[in-house]
């Protein structure tokens, strides 16, 4: 059941996890059960998510209270709040432990957008479940669904992402498609920025795209030439073009200033991150809690509107952005965190003041993927050797 499917050999999106690896750990905020271990108790050190093995990837950075994981057997599991059916198991009952999303097999990637979940299957189709007031499910309706429904008209999809009430799909031809809400111009140029679309439409002016990422109000793409482009809300400079301010936004994708040779992108609600081919990490946007990791904390109104290098990190292979935190995975399998620590989301056994430079999450080794939430960090690993015995095992 946990074996790597033959069709996934080579690892989608660069994942390098071994077929039977995949134990998931969480730390930080847990008041709504985001640890998936049956409790609502916060922890400043990593604890194991209950009952899951063979975990391949985690999503859920856009949702405050619901998490999603993809297992190597192609199934999707979820836990947390379920008021709109966002757990995808045919109910609206919350769960403090993982439950399987109904009817999904052969999944290769997952994403979320607020209280809506998304899955990309190996056949290139996209499926969605949960909240649908702004056409978030992409199936031509505005009716919520507690089980997955197919997003209309999309084939040949290679990657998916979520941003606020908007969802995105990258097709094999390098074009990007979007659906859902458009309050901050996340769909691209439309006659009325308050409109939404319940079926996917193409984002204008984008070709040669190789990766996509969603923030809280904005969207980002990596193009084949190593440049990063962004559009949507820009109130705290999260588009990385040197501008920003209350009400600032743009519906037209524009290049993030000064970045070349980028290999990986990610975003938090109001921050964005890019890894360059030399393994350095760059960040821009909101920095009120030090979530850019650049050694300083910015006051509101003095935002970081251009990319700045994250302090002291090299050999970065993956990144994840939370609401007030950033997380990085290095090539040696270690995890590093920075930003707010009021819930213990730095994972180093402490709580307290913001930390604007990366610190290592102790004891996590052999990590293959990371994730972030609203005050919570996640790591998928084969090993755990911290703080004595692993917690929750």
Q: Per residue in 23-62, pLDDT tens?
A: 999 999 999 999 999 999 999 999 999 889 999 999 977 7
Residue 17: which pLDDT band, with cuts at 50, 70 and 90? very low
Q: What pLDDT was estimated at residue 301?
A: 83
Give the CA angle between residues 323, 325, 326 to the nearest 5°.
120
* Mean pLDDT of the chain, nearest integer: 90
Give the model confidence (pLDDT) of 307-363 as tens digits.
999 999 999 999 999 999 999 999 999 999 999 999 999 999 999 999 999 999 999
Q: What pLDDT was estimated at residue 193?
A: 60
Give the Cα separation of 165 and 183 in Å (integer): 9
Q: What pLDDT was estimated at residue 190?
A: 73
Sheet holding 66-71, edge to edge: 55-59, 66-71, 76-80, 95-100
Instruction: Report helix, strand and coil shares of the chain as percent, to nearest 5.
Output: 0, 45, 55
Helix (H) or strand (E) holding 103: none
Residues with Cβ within 8 Å of 9's Cβ and at least 6 positions away in sequence, in order, are none
Residues with Cβ within 8 Å of 388's Cβ and at least 6 positions away in sequence, in order, are none
Residue whose structure tokens are 């209280």: 115
Q: What pLDDT was estimated at residue 3?
A: 26
Residues with Cβ within 8 Å of 310's Cβ and at least 6 positions away in sequence, in order, are 273, 280, 281, 282, 283, 292, 293, 294, 326, 328, 338, 358
On the question of pLDDT at 259 being above 70, the answer is yes
Give the model confidence (pLDDT) of 97-129 as tens digits.
999 999 999 999 999 998 999 999 999 999 999
């Amino acid at each position: 059941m946990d074996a790597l499917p033959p069709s996934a050999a080579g690892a989608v999106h660069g994942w390098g996890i071994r077929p039977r690896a995949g134990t998931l750990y969480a730390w930080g905020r847990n008041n709504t059960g985001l640890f998936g271990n049956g409790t609502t108790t916060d922890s400043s050190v990593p604890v194991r998510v209950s009952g899951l093995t063979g975990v391949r990837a985690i999503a859920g950075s856009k949702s405050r209270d619901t998490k999603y994981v993809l297992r190597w057997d192609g199934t999707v599991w979820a836990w947390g709040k379920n008021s709109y059916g966002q757990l995808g198991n045919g109910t609206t009952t919350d769960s403090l432990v993982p439950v399987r999303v109904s009817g999904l097999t052969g999944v290769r990637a997952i994403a979320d957008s607020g209280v809506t979940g998304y899955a990309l299957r190996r056949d290139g189709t996209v499926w969605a479940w949960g909240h649908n007031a702004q056409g978030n499910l992409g199936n031509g309706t505005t009716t919520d669904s507690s089980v997955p429904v197919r997003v209309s008209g999309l084939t040949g999809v290679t990657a998916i992402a979520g941003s606020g009430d908007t969802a995105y799909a990258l097709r094999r031809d390098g074009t990007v498609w979007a659906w859902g809400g458009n309050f901050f111009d996340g769909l691209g140029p439309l006659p009325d920025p308050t409109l939404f679309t319940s079926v996917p439409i193409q984002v204008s002016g984008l070709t040669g795209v190789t990766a996509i990422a969603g923030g809280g109000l904005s969207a980002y793409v990596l193009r084949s030439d190593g440049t990063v482009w962004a559009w949507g809300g820009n109130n705290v400079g999260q588009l990385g073009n040197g501008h920003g301010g209350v009400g600032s936004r743009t519906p037209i994708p524009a290049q993030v200033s000064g970045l070349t040779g980028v290999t990986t992108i990610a975003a938090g609600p109001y921050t964005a991150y890019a890894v360059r081919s030399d393994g350095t990490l760059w960040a821009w946007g909101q920095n009120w809690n030090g979530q850019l990791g650049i050694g300083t904390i910015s006051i509101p109104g003095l935002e970081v509107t251009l990319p700045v290098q994250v302090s002291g990190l090299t050999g970065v292979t993956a990144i994840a952005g939370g609401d007030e935190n950033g997380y990085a995975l290095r090539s040696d399998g270690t995890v590093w965190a920075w930003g707010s620590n009021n819930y213990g989301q730095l994972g180093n056994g402490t709580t307290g003041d913001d930390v604007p430079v990366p610190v290592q999450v102790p004891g996590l080794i052999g990590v293959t993927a990371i994730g972030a939430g609203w005050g919570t960090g996640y790591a998928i690993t084969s090993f755990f050797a911290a703080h004595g015995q692993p917690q929750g095992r």
